[in-house]
Amino acid sequence: MKESSASAPILLFDSGVGGLTVLAALRRVLPDAPVIYAADFAGLPYGEKSEAEIAARVAGLLGRMGERYQPRLACIACNTASTIALGMVREVLEIPIVGTVPAIKPAAAMTKTGVIGLLGTAATIRQGYVDRLEAAFAADKTLLRQAAPGLVEAAEAKLAGRAGVGEAVAEAVATLRAQPGGDRIDTVVLACTHFPLLREELAAAFGPGVALVDGAEGIARRIVSLTGGQAFARRAPNFAVTTGPIDTLEQRADALRQVGIEDLRVF
């Protein structure tokens, strides 16, 4: 990459604050990378939308953001959007696109009981993409999928400083455990980027015998490998944009500050 392009940003996109879990991992490996964090609060939650709606929305928004911000790479830091719209976004943007896919492969390598739980949005857990990951990496395991929309809301509320996370976590864990074989789960895939924001609460609810796996570190490594050899020089502070009203970001200013973002804007 030319010296003049060293300030070209990496664009991270999610429906809300879930992608901050990916941004935190990215900052650990590429601390100097200029970053724009984009949250589609006007479209949240994706998990309750149809495939057609999500694909059109995500491809449309990323196309416009690509034009406006000229990123060197875009990361769809959202499992729902990635499992549905990754192909379409790759057709719209001519830059490398990194998706976020459920960490079934590492979970399959970790489980001792052979029973893996998967918590995701309703839209994610019904995707053929997940069927294909299961067939490729966990064909000899039992994968129990559970939609947990309450956890998306709880993660958003937690980062906005609101209480009441416990009930949603308890309900998600109990419903997954209640599936046939659920008592033998020893590994749980957090297949939504919002869920690692509730890692402590989920770990406490599952108990010490259950490992929680997410894809954030793997995604960060993928971005490093795709930008290998490129120069990074931040010429302006990192910023976040929202498709909703500015207070969707302002309410979560503390969490954004923790990942180095203080400049908040409306897209």
Catalytic residue positions, numbered: 78, 192
Binding residue for ligand DGL (CB under 6 A) from 8, 13, 15, 72? 15
Query: How many CA atoms within 13 Å lie on the side-chain side of 64?
Result: 10
Min dist. Cβ of residue 156 to ligand DGL (A): 9
In contact, 227 and 8? CB cutoff 8 Å = no
- Retrieve residue 259's tokens: 């990942």
Residue 145 as a binder of ligand DGL (CB under 6 A): the answer is no
Residue 193 as a binder of ligand DGL (CB under 6 A): the answer is yes
Site for ligand DGL in 151-190 (CB under 6 A): 152
Residue 14: which of 85, 93, 80, 91 has the closest Cα?
Answer: 80
Q: Distance (Å, rounded) from C-alpha 244 to C-alpha 235?
A: 27
In contact, 236 and 9? CB cutoff 8 Å = no
Binding residue for ligand DGL (CB under 6 A) from 78, 85, 108, 264? 78
Site for ligand DGL in 115-134 (CB under 6 A): 121, 124
Q: Distance (Å, rounded) from C-alpha 18 to C-alpha 30?
A: 19
Residue 44 as a binder of ligand DGL (CB under 6 A): the answer is yes
- Taking the least distance from each CB to ligand DGL, the nearer of 111 and 193 is 193
Measured CA angle at 45 (ends 146, 130), to 5 deg: 40
Residue 194 as a binder of ligand DGL (CB under 6 A): the answer is yes
Min dist. Cβ of residue 32 to ligand DGL (A): 26
Residues lying near ligand DGL in the complex (CB under 6 A) are found at 14-15, 18, 44-47, 78-80, 121, 124, 152, 192-194
